Each structure stands twice: as C-alpha cells, then as structure tokens.
Structure 1
Amino acid sequence: MILIYTHKITPRVRYIFKHIFTRVLLIDIDFTTKIEDFVAFNGPKLSYTKVALGKEFFIKSTDLLFQQGVNDFEIQVSKWDNVPCFFYQGNKSTIPFDIFSASFYLITRYEEYLPHIKDIHGRFTANQSIAFLHGFLEQPVIDIWAYKLLDVLKERFPDYNYGAKRKYTFMSTIDIDNAYVYKYKSSIRSIAGGLKDLYKLHVFNVIDRLAVRFNIKKDPFNTFDKILDLKKKYNVRTIFFFLIGDYTSYDTNVSASKRKFKLLIKDMVDYARVGLHPSYYTMKNFTKLKEEKQRLENITNMPIFRSRQHYLRFSLPVTYQKLIDLEIKEDYSMGYASHVGFRASTCTPFYFYDLDFEIQTPLKIFPFALMDTTLNDYMKLTPKQSLGKINDLKNEVKKVNGTFITLFHNESLSDYLRWKGWKRVYESMLKIATHE
C-alpha cells in the first residue's frame, strides 16, 4: 500500500488517484489528512498538496481537484521526457507536473463541459480538443504518465513489492446500423431504393437488390457468420450493438418488428455479447432511449446493460445521466467519428465522473481507439494504410498494457459499395490486435 497525504480528500482526489494507482498500476492506496500519521508511516508514501512537508516524495497540486463545478483553465502544454504534459508545477515538485489534475481534466472530458462549437450532429469535435491541438490524440497519455510515475516511485522506494503488471487485452465491438442492405426491408423502402438506384444509373445495385429479394443471392451485409467464425478462430471477446430504433433518415436498419431480424439478434446472444445501439435522436430523449432498451430486452429476454450511441452522439453529462437512470452499466461511445485515437486520453476502462454532481457514477466507460468508418470515410485511407494505423494504435496500447478496443460494422466485411476492397481488413485487424 502507498499512503497519500493531502490537505483535503475530495471526491475528485479520491477518483483520479484510485484510477491511476488502482486501475492502471494495480497498487493499493490509502489517504490521510493527518501529518503525524503520514510522518509515522514507514512504507512508500507521497504528499499531494501546495507545499512539501519536508523532503518526501512530493507532487505540488493545482486547485483543480479541490474545486467544484467547471472553470475555464488556460492550458499550456509542454514536455516531460518527450511526453506531452500540462499543469506545470516547477522543480520543487518531485514530478514537475500535476499529473493528477491533468489526468482528471482529460478523463472527465472537462473541456466538453466548456463552451464549444458542435458539428452538424451536435457532437464535440476532435479538432477542438487539447489532445488534437497538441498532437497527442493518438497516445493514451494518462496511462503513459501513470507508468512514468511508477518508474519514479520505484527509484524512490526500490524495496517495495509493486506486484504484477496488468496484461494487454483486446475487445472487438461491432455496430449493426444496417443488418441487411436489401433483405427484410419494407416494400416501400425497397421500391424507393430501387428507383433511386435507377435514377443514379446504379444498374448493378438494382440487379443485386432483385437477386437478394428473390433469394438468388445472399444479402451482402449479412456477414454475421463470418464475424462469429473469426471470433472463434482468434478467441476474441466480441460485442454486437444493435440499432433497433424507429426508421428515420439517420436510422435505417431493418424494422425491429421483423421476425428474421429478431432471430438474428437472438442468435448473436447465443454466441457473443449484445448491447443497445440507441438511435440518432436518443441523445437527449429519455423516453425514446427507454423504449429502445425495453424493445431489445423483449427480444433477447435478458437485461441489457451495454450501450453505444448511434453516430457517437452524446452530450455530457446529460446522455450519460440518462443511461445511468436506465441502469446501463457500460458505455462504449467514447471516441471520435472523424479521428482515431483516445478521446479521454486513456486506454483503460474508467467510471464516468459527473462534474454536475461531483460524484463517481456506476457507469463504466470503455473508450475505443479506432472505427472502420473513420479510416475509410473521414481519413480516406486505403485498407493497407488503415492496417498500418491500426498497428500503430495497438502498439501504443500494448506499451502500457491497456485495453485495445476497436469499432467495426458488419458492412465493412461485405466487400460491397463503399467497402469494396475492405473484405479482409477485419480479419487482418484481429491478427494485429491478438498478436503478442
């Protein structure tokens, strides 16, 4: 155990110290506000306060972890041994930066509570983030800082048994926005789609549509058997997130009332984990969110406690507060549509800290590092370039023994329409992600 002295134990202090020491470094800690207890303690210890008590391991604190609410900070990023860092505290501190305040700022998404410009989908954009502006979006800097802190602690307290390091893990998540491109769509939608293809002179699409409708050809987006085969082959933890909201221009999946779609979901429950993919307009609509959760539970006959927002549309803290109200325990929305990398600057699952109520909530956030549509649609990378980027991100996670989470869609295995040439990318990604 490492003893932490601080002049005030706030919920923020407890939260971020527990994350860094307990979740990242697997080290037990305890807190004290009594100087005499700190001085008398014979094990490894550090003080986190404004002024050092003596010559102990000392990290000079900023005000952030002792405040409430949200204030606008001027963030100046510099380097700590070539790693970007901020909240510089000078050389009197054993570590020249307040890494606890910096970690808290990033992991709580503090900047997303501040005034910002939203994109057309009402989302906070990557290019407004500190991580993007200062070039560390593709590094899990909180985890990197934690391991650097561990190195310094080992120098100061070489005789302490720090225990085993955590192990690198991988998780594949699949969003089902369109289970089928042609199959099981209503007649009206099929006719409208066919006319649209004819108008745009997409003759081969019309032929494919008819072939699928008349059971001559398998629906191109029906790649579920392939995904399950690869799950078994590479022994990969896989989660399917099903979009089952009512039809809108942004929610175009097969109707959840279709028997075949229900059977597909039931099949996936037998072979993998299943979560809810709340539809486009659920970001602030509690009633719609609740309806969709109930709808999926009625299909699966089991409680649903995993979720990822469609279009990654969430607004802090409102969306997460609504998920908590519905007893969702795990959310997988933490990432950007336009950029790969680490939105919360960590590759360690963490509990959502609600800055409105100043509490650690029971909602666990699983941040993903990349999405197939980001690589293809936003970054315009070729499959080969995409695999290079995937390998780079995996290596960043591996260095800190973190959790590497990817987001793919069943569509990207189809080799169809905009996914032409991408058929083998998913399996190649699994090889990279699972390779020691």
Structure 2
Amino acid sequence: MKDKLNTEQRDYVLYHLSRHFNLPAFSRFFLFEKNDSRAPFVFFPSSNKSHNENRRIEDIPVLYPLASEDRFFHFDSNNNLIFDHDLLKGAFYLLSGYQEWQTGDKDARGRFPFTASIQYRLNIAEMPLVNIYFDIISRALELFAKKHGLVFQKKTFWGNRPFAFFLTHDIDRVDRWISAEVKRRIKIAQKHRGPRQKLAAIFHELNFFGRNNSFWNFDRMMAVEDALNIKSTWFFLPGGIKHIDAYYDLKEERIKKLARKIADNGHHIGAHGVYNSMTDPAEMRRTLREVRQLSPADVIISRQHWLRFRYPDTLKLLVDNRIEMDSSWGFAEHCGWRNSYCHPFHPFDLNQNRMLPILEIPLNAMDVTFMEYMGLDEKGTREHIMKMVHVCKKYGGIFTLLWHNNHLNEEDHPGIWDYYKTILDDIIRENPYIFSPGAMKGLPL
C-alpha cells in the first residue's frame, strides 16, 4: 500500500478511533498536511511508501515509519503535538484487511492463509497492533489536552465491565455414530503403529450399536453455561456438499426442538454459511433462508463454515441478506487477531472505498486451532486463552471463543468437560460483559 490515505480511508480509521475517546473535541486541531499555520495543532504525517516490516520502537512494529527517532510523537516549543510516523495508515492497513485484498494467496480451501499474513511474518497474531496504535494516539492527545486546557474523556464499550466475552458454538455434527463419522475414524485408526492398536481402534468404531451419542450434548452444554450466567450463540449449518457441510437436516424434528430450546433458554441462534456460500449468492441466500426458518427469532449474525471467507465478497453477500454481524474473520491455523484489533469493527470495502454497515466480531480463539493446528496440550491452550483474555482486559476489547459441540467428547479427549468448565471459570473470574447479538442496545458499536 504505497499511496497516502484518501479522505474516506482516513475517516474510517478516525471513526474507529473515536469510539475510544471524545475525538470530536480534538478534530478541529488535526492537520494532515503541513501547509496550515494555525495553532495549536496536532499533526498526523502521511506516508506514500509501502509498509515496512523491519522497524520497531519498544518492540512495537512501525509499519509506516517517517522519522529516525525512536519515539512515536513529540511536542514542539509551542506545545503542538507532532506524530513521528503514519500510525493512521498502519491502522488502516491492518483493520481494513488490505493484505487480503491485494494478494491472491489461498490455502486448499480457498482461504487467506495465516502463513501469508503480516501477523505471521512479524509474530504479532496475539498482539492487537491497531489497539496499540490507538492507545499511543490517545495518550498523546491526553497530554495535548492537559497542555491546552482541554477535556479528554476515555470511552468504555461494556459499561462497568473491563472487557467482553463472546462464547460461540458451530453445530457441524450432531451424531457420533453415523457411517461417515465411523469411516473417517477408521481411516485415522489405520495410522496407529501397532497391529493390535489398529484392530482395537477399528473394533471400537464398528461396535457402536446401543452406544451413547456423545455429540448430542446440548443440554449439558447449556447447563454448564447457564450455571455461569453465560448466554452463548449457536451457529446452525444447512446441508450442502456431502462430507463437507452438515450431516444433519434442519427440517428434522429433533433439530427444530433443539433450536426452540436454545432460544427459550435465552441463548441465540446464528447462521453457519455453507461451504460454497463464501462467494455464491444463491448458496448464501439458501443458508440464511433455512436457518431463519428454523430460528424462533430473526437471525442477524453469521459465521462461515470452515471460516471460508473472502474479503470483501462474503461480507457484501451478508449485507445483501440483512446480516448485521459476522464472526468469521479469524485464522484457522493460529489464535489471535486477523485484523490486529480486539474490538468489534466495521470492515472497509476497498473496491468501493467505503465502510460497510456490517459489524465484525473478531474470532480469536477456536478449539480446533489449539488442538490440531497449533498442536497444544491443555496447559498450553489455557495459557494462550488467558493471555488473550488479559490483552482484551487491558484494551477493553472482546474475547471470542468458538467451541464445537463434537469436541466436547470424552472418547477423543478424556477429561474435556472438566477442562472446558475450567476455561469458562477462568474467563468469568475476570468479570467480563457477556456479549450476544441480542444484547447490543446501548453499546457504542
């Protein structure tokens, strides 16, 4: 991204910055070109160069450096505030998803891969760099306010709570003992080293008559969460591509009863976009139509199956279908923040140079990410989760956790229920606001 920010891009960053403090009280002092003699002023310099991945100040990456000094801002002799680097452009590059828009890199499922990201290259997946930039700007303007007799007021997102917690579940599978699942596990069993181990694993899969369906665990999940006063969001997946989309039918009576029970218990229902809905308008319409027919309340939030998401195409399809919130923008392969921002935000459509009305709830923690992609044990998973929770608490952000019902399965993960409860207990002890699509009223989002 070489060009300077245009007016719409700059306003996009300032809009999100304004949600953190009373920015309108300071905007009359802002200069973006040094051709104005008014004083006092706050000068934001503009970069017309590509981002730099080598410059750091206090171990903070500076994507668009403009000065040799190791500082972010300074005051001149007249107490005018001058930023030394283009922090606004750095924030825009990350928050807008520019890196995904400019590249053709895709993984086997057509997703933007973590290994192609700046978060991977700079090792900042768990560092919300946009929040850090905003914090630097806020601290500088607070000093400016003191020097000029102005009032600086920080804003809070979650009332008197230090951060928010958004607990979510993608309902991909509801039956443990179906032929497709048994076949999949028999293939896995072939990887056991010893012949006895292979035979034992295969026999276990074939001897399923009368066995408990450990994937149908929704009452237990809600009981655990209700005991902690957590209301979660459940994303239902329609059928579609065989062995890719749902193994159940939304028209089944048991699924209808489940949806009613979730809603009656005060939890929320979202749509889980089928595999091809990423770019297919008809499939997106079908997904939302079928889930809305299932849900007792209107469905206003969505997440893509397999996190199969293309920027900005998928977002525009969601907007066209009356979806107000999405929570797909996360990396499958690594925990952290794909847009380096730990708050809900509005994406920017770079094709049309405008902010989109949909609200993105960043997805930063998923069970499969820890267990499979990152290969972490329970201790390592818990450490990463609590590290991100504390980051969210520091910046007043939102911690989003995705846990699949089929991964609360003692056969595959002995002790997983106690572990899941421990994680929820850890998070609740930090006193979060419990976020849900139905609890948006009064929030500055």
Normalised by the size of structure 1, how large is the TM-score? 0.84
Residue 170 of structure 1, aligned match among 137, 155, 165 = 165
Paired residues for 1:15-164 under 5 Å = 15-22=12-19, 25-29=20-24, 38=28, 45-49=29-33, 53=37, 56-63=41-48, 73-90=50-67, 94-158=82-146, 159-164=149-154
Q: Quick one: distance in 1 between partners of 2:66 and 2:241?
A: 53
Contact kept in structure 2, 1:332 and 1:365, CA below 8 Å: yes
- Give TM-score scaled by structure 2 length: 0.82
Q: How does 1:332-371 map to 2 (within 5 A)?
A: 332-371=327-366
SS of aligned partner of 2:347: strand
**Does residue 205 of the first structure (1) align with residue 205 of the second (2)?**
yes
Structure 1 counterpart SS, 2:232: strand
**TM superposition shift of 1:321:** 1.1
Which of 209, 233, 236 is 2:230 aligned to? 236
Change (3 A) 1:301 1:424: same
CA contact (8 A) 2:96 2:339 kept: yes
Q: Deviations over 1:233-274 (max 9, x none)?
A: 222241111112235221243122321122112211222011
Are positions 1:259 and 2:253 aligned together? yes
Name the counterpart of 1:3: none
Q: Aligned to 2:214, what secondary structure does the other structure show?
A: coil
Q: Which region of structure 1 is more displaced relative to structure 2, 236-245 or 121-130?
A: 236-245
Distance 2:364 2:224 in 1: 20
Query: Per-residue deviation at 1:387?
Result: 0.4
The corresponding residue for 2:159 is: none
Residues 1:281 and 2:266 aligned together: no
Note closer, same or farther for the CA distance 1:98–1:324 as it changes in structure 2 (3 Å cut).
Answer: same
| Distance change (3 Å), C-alpha of 1:262 and 1:98 | same
Q: CA 1:8/1:31 → structure 2, altered by over 3 Å: closer, same or farther?
A: farther
Which residue of 312, 327, 338 corresponds with 2:322? 327
CA displacement at 1:206 relative to structure 2: 2.7
The reply on whether 1:10 has 2:7 as its aligned counterpart is: yes
Query: Which digits, 9 at most, give the CA deviation of each residue in 1:50-105, with x for residues without a partner?
Result: 556466321212359xxxxxxxx343342233322211122687222211111111
Q: Partner of 1:113: helix, strand, or coil?
A: helix
Amino acid at match of 1:57: V
1:78–1:86 CA contact under 8 A, matched in 2: yes
Identity %: 24
Q: Which residue of 2 aligns with 1:42?
A: none
Contact 1:383 1:422 in 2 (8 A): no
SS in 2 for 1:121: coil
Q: Distance in 2 between matches of 1:252 and 1:8?
A: 43
Q: 1:28 to 1:95 in 2, by over 3 A?
A: closer
2:150 aligns to what SS in structure 1?
Answer: coil
Deviation at 1:144, TM superposition (A): 1.7
1:157 aligned counterpart, secondary structure: helix
Paired letter, 2:45? K
Q: Which moved more, 1:367-376 or 1:264-273?
A: 264-273
Shift of 1:385: 1.4
Offset of residue 139 of structure 1: 0.8
- Aligned equivalent of 1:69: none
| 1:283-342 deviations in Å (ceiling 9; x for gaps) | 111111111211111112432111000010011111111111111111000100001110
